[in-house]
């Protein structure tokens, strides 16, 4: 027979069992954290009608989207979880309670140029709060507080959630009479880290014909830094000149104040005037999250406030605020940086049971005992030599191997080998289960990420 070479498409992450277990644990921590804050899980189709996904249209999205026809249907794979949410809320508006708080962890598709660390299929892990007509600013503070919880539970320590407010930026540009150029300015200032202050000034003056003095004002504004209180105090100096600015500053101050109340330590968030987010979608608070020791990888969790979630599908005003963890990319980066904790459980089982008799009933009873305590027990039933069985246990990396031979069965015990220490002892099944459970519970508490 002619064989076809097995391969996985480039840009598509496919993990071996060990890393997959690490990924599962990270996903589960994100999921359970989102759930603890009272967000409801959603699961929407990966395929939508193209007219729905491309309602906004234009730009990179349209080029990157996976679009195809099936019969006479024009279909596309979702490229984010926000547009499907907008459709969902517009479609099911009457059956939902507002504020509608949902989380969704799912794959999205973007046909980007393939390169290392860039994925065409990747997980996003989103939370959004959608209001009906209005939505309190306290939500803008709870969102980063949830991300703080998630990142802390993952084991991350050296991260910072950076916060800004688009009204502050737009209000300031309005003061300079540059409202019509605000998009260009934001996108230019976004490159500050990359091209430096002189570079930004040159682009503003040369490419966008902005007066040199105004360009300097912009750079001076962007350069404001310090503690959160210092930044807010410096911004207060611009008060009273533009209503939008004042409103944005009130919001920013409230969010910063609440964030402390929500239990986020000062070192994990910063008011940062250089954060703008590329998308014109955002209208108020904006977030980016950086790993302090790895600024080169950019933001791993971003989002913000928007005035109108579903304007393409409904007349209703549905303001919202949300944030998205780029999960596949985060996992990839943590792996590249050596930050995935090898001490976590990555074996498919907590114990491998090796029956040494033809009759499996004692082994099955033992497996049942372990499973009833929530321990993952794999029964090995292949007729192989002892050495092959132990080599299998080694390859799986199981923490415990349990032998059940005729002697053990006669004595009502099991030989329990700790594969880490090499210790082996005979114990009654219940005692063995207890011994294993104690150690597994300890290893379950190991955070999946190492961040010194």
Of 32-71, binders to its own copies (CB under 8 A) are 35-49, 51-52, 55, 66-71
Measured from the CB atom, the residue of 138 and 292 that comes closer to its own copies is 138
CB of 364 to its own copies, least distance (A): 6
* Cα atoms found within 13 Å of the Cα of residue 194, Cβ hemisphere only: 9
442 binds its own copies (CB under 8 A): no
CB of 315 to its own copies, least distance (A): 7
Distance from C-alpha of 365 to C-alpha of 408, rounded to nearest angstrom? 13
265 binds its own copies (CB under 8 A): no
255 binds its own copies (CB under 8 A): no
Q: Is the dihedral of CA 272, 278, 283, 286 positive or negative?
A: negative
Assess contact for 402 and 414: CB atoms under 8 A: yes
Q: Is the dihedral of CA 352, 356, 360, 364 positive or negative?
A: negative
Residue among 62, 80, 107, 307 that touches its own copies (CB under 8 A): 107
275 binds its own copies (CB under 8 A): no
261 binds its own copies (CB under 8 A): yes
Structure tokens at 206: 């040369």
Question: 304-339 burial, b if ≥16 CB within 10 A, otherwise e?
Answer: bbbeebbbbbbeeebbbbbbbbbbbbbbbbbeeeeb
Structure tokens at 256: 């910063």
272 binds its own copies (CB under 8 A): no
Distance from C-alpha of 289 to C-alpha of 303, rounded to nearest angstrom? 9
360 binds its own copies (CB under 8 A): yes
CB of 108 to its own copies, least distance (A): 11
Residue among 312, 317, 369, 439 that touches its own copies (CB under 8 A): 312
Distance from C-alpha of 49 to C-alpha of 52, rounded to nearest angstrom? 5
Which residue carries 């014909």 as its tokens?
209
335 binds its own copies (CB under 8 A): no
Q: Which of 436, 404, 400 is nearest to 420 (CA)?
A: 400
Residue among 189, 339, 377, 450 that touches its own copies (CB under 8 A): 377
Residue among 177, 212, 226, 263 that touches its own copies (CB under 8 A): 263
72 binds its own copies (CB under 8 A): no
Q: Spell out where 249-311 has E strands.
A: 269-271, 285-291, 301-306
Site string for its own copies, 135-164 (x = CB under 8 A): xx-xx--x----------------------
Which residue carries 């209208």 as its tokens?
283
291 binds its own copies (CB under 8 A): no
Residue among 62, 80, 96, 192 that touches its own copies (CB under 8 A): 96
Residue among 72, 180, 382, 442 that touches its own copies (CB under 8 A): 382
Q: Phi, psi at residue 136, to the nearest 5°?
A: -65, 145
400 binds its own copies (CB under 8 A): no
121 binds its own copies (CB under 8 A): yes
Residue among 168, 256, 318, 396 that touches its own copies (CB under 8 A): 396
Assess contact for 90 and 314: CB atoms under 8 A: yes
**How many residues are there in the chain?**
452
379 binds its own copies (CB under 8 A): yes
300 binds its own copies (CB under 8 A): no
Residue among 21, 210, 321, 354 that touches its own copies (CB under 8 A): 21
Stretch in the footprint of its own copies (CB under 8 A) among 156-164, 184-192, 209-217, 313-321: 313-321
| C-beta neighbour count of 190 within 10 angstroms | 15
Assess contact for 398 and 419: CB atoms under 8 A: yes
CB of 25 to its own copies, least distance (A): 10
């Amino acid at each position: 027979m002619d064989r076809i070479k097995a391969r996985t498409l480039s840009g598509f992450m496919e993990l071996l069992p060990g890393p997959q277990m690490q990924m599962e644990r990270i996903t589960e921590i994100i999921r359970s954290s989102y759930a603890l804050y009272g967000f409801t899980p959603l699961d929407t189709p990966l395929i939508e009608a193209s007219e729905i996904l491309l309602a906004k249209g234009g730009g990179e999205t349209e080029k990157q989207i996976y679009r195809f026809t099936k019969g006479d249907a024009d279909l596309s794979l979702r490229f984010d979880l926000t547009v499907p949410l907008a459709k969902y809320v517009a479609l099911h508006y009457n059956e939902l309670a507002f504020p509608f708080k949902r989380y969704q962890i799912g794959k999205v598709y973007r046909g980007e140029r393939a390169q290392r660390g860039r994925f065409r299929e990747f997980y996003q892990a989103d939370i959004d709060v959608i209001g009906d007509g209005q939505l309190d600013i306290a939500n803008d503070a709870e969102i980063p507080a949830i991300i703080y919880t998630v990142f802390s539970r993952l084991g991350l320590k050296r991260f910072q959630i950076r916060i800004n407010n688009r009204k502050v930026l737009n209000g300031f540009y309005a003061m300079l009479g540059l409202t019509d150029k605000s998009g260009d300015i934001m996108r230019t200032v976004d490159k500050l880290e990359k091209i430096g202050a002189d570079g930004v000034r040159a682009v503003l003056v040369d490419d966008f014909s902005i007066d040199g003095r105004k360009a300097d004002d912009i750079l001076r504004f962007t350069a404001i830094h310090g503690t959160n209180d210092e930044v807010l105090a410096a911004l207060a100096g611009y008060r009273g000149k533009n209503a939008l600015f004042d409103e944005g500053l009130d919001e920013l101050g409230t969010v910063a104040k609440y964030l402390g109340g929500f239990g986020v330590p000062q070192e994990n968030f910063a008011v940062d005037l250089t954060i703008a987010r590329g998308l014109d979608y955002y209208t108020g608070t904006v977030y980016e999250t950086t790993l302090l020791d790895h600024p080169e990888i950019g933001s791993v969790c971003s989002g913000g406030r928007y005035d109108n979630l579903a304007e393409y599908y409904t007349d209703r005003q549905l303001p919202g605020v949300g944030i998205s963890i780029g999960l596949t990319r985060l996992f990839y980066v943590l792996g590249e940086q050596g930050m995935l904790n090898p001490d976590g459980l990555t074996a498919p089982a907590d114990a491998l049971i090796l029956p040494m008799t033809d009759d499996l009933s004692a082994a099955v009873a033992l497996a049942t005992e372990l499973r009833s305590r929530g321990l993952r027990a794999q029964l090995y039933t292949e007729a192989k030599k002892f050495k092959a069985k132990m080599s299998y246990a080694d390859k799986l990396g199981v923490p415990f191997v349990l032998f059940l031979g005729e002697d053990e069965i006669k004595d009502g015990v099991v030989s329990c080998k700790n594969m880490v220490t090499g210790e082996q002892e005979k114990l009654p099944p219940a005692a063995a289960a207890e011994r294993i459970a104690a150690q597994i519970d300890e290893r379950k508490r190991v955070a999946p990420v190492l961040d010194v």
